[in-house]
Amino acid sequence: GEYAAAGVFSLEGELPVNTNGGLKSFGHGGGSAGIHKTYEVYKQLQGKCDARQVKGATLGMTHDQGGYPGTYTVVLNVFGTRD
């Protein structure tokens, strides 16, 4: 949509998304998807992502979901740096 076309979600944008390419570039590892996203946020907040580093990153969020009907789970994690 408009925001994507304007670059809002790009690495240099106002709200960077999938800074490591997301799960499609990872092969969508199923059960490891959550830790894969969490690790990317962890490295971003440490400032250790080299060319894909979000400048001045102080907050990160991951969202995961899965399961079968009747047992569906959603997990939302918000991470931040200490002052």
pLDDT at residue number 83: 75
Cα angle 30, 63, 55 (rounded to 5 degrees) comes to 110
- Closest listed residue to residue 15, CA positions, set 73, 45, 57: 57
Higher pLDDT, 66 or 50: 50
Higher confidence at residue 23 or residue 59? 59
Q: How many domains does the chain have?
A: 1
pLDDT at position 31 is 76
* Collapsed DSSP state (helix, strand, coil) of residue 83: coil
pLDDT, tens digit, for every residue of 12-53?
Answer: 999 999 999 988 887 777 778 888 999 999 999 999 999 999
CB 74 within 8 A of CB 65: yes
| Domain with 61 in it | 2-80
pLDDT over 90 (residue 77): yes
Give me the pLDDT at residue 33, please. Answer: 84
